[in-house]
Amino acid sequence: MQKQKIAASYEQFHVIAHDLNETDDLKEECKKQLGEGVRLADWNDILTYVEAGGSLDDFINTLNIPLEYIKPEDMDPIPNTSFRISMNGELHWRGDRHYFFARHDHKLRGDFLAHDDLDNFRLSLGSWFGKGGFALCFGDPESTVAPPEPEMREPVQTSGG
C-alpha cells in the first residue's frame, strides 16, 4: 500500500489529496495513487456501509471529516472540507459540477444544494466546481482486483434547485 498518499483510512475507505479540477477524472486518480484494487468511492458505498450497521461516527472521526462551516449561516465553506466522490458511478451533476460530500452535523448551510443526505444532514451529498482538495477512494490498495461497482439507487434531491 502506498501509505504516503493516503491522508486517512477507515475500513475500505481512503482519503487522498489531489490537484485536479472538476473536469478531470478522479476515477483514474484513485487508481493512479493507490493501485488497481481501488476506485473512486460512490455515495452509494457510504449508504451501504451505514445501512449494514456501520458507525457514521467512526467513519467521520477516523477519516477526519471536518465540519464544512463555522456557522450554518456562512455562505462560503471552509476550504478543503469536502470530499469528492461519484453518485451512481457518475462524476458530475448537470455539466461540470463534481459530486462531493460534506459534514453538516444536522444543520445544512443555507446555500448548499443537497442531492441526498445521511442521518438528517449529518453528511450531505452536493456538487460544485473547483480544483484540488480531497477525494474518497474505495477498495483494497493491496489488491490487484478492482472492487465491484456500487449498487445503483434513485437519487433523492433533498434541498435547493
pTM for this entry: 0.91
Question: E strand or H helix at 74, and its extent?
Answer: none
pLDDT single digits (tens) 57-79: 999 999 999 999 998 888 888 88
Q: What is the pLDDT of residue 138?
A: 98
pLDDT single digits (tens) 19-46: 988 888 889 999 999 999 999 999 999 9
- Reply yes or no on whether the pLDDT at 159 is more than 70: no
Sorted by sequence, the CB contacts under 8 Å of residue 56 that are 6+ apart come out as: 50, 118, 119, 122, 123
Residue 111's nearest CA partner among 80, 81, 68, 154 is: 68
Contact 116, 80 (CB under 8 A): no
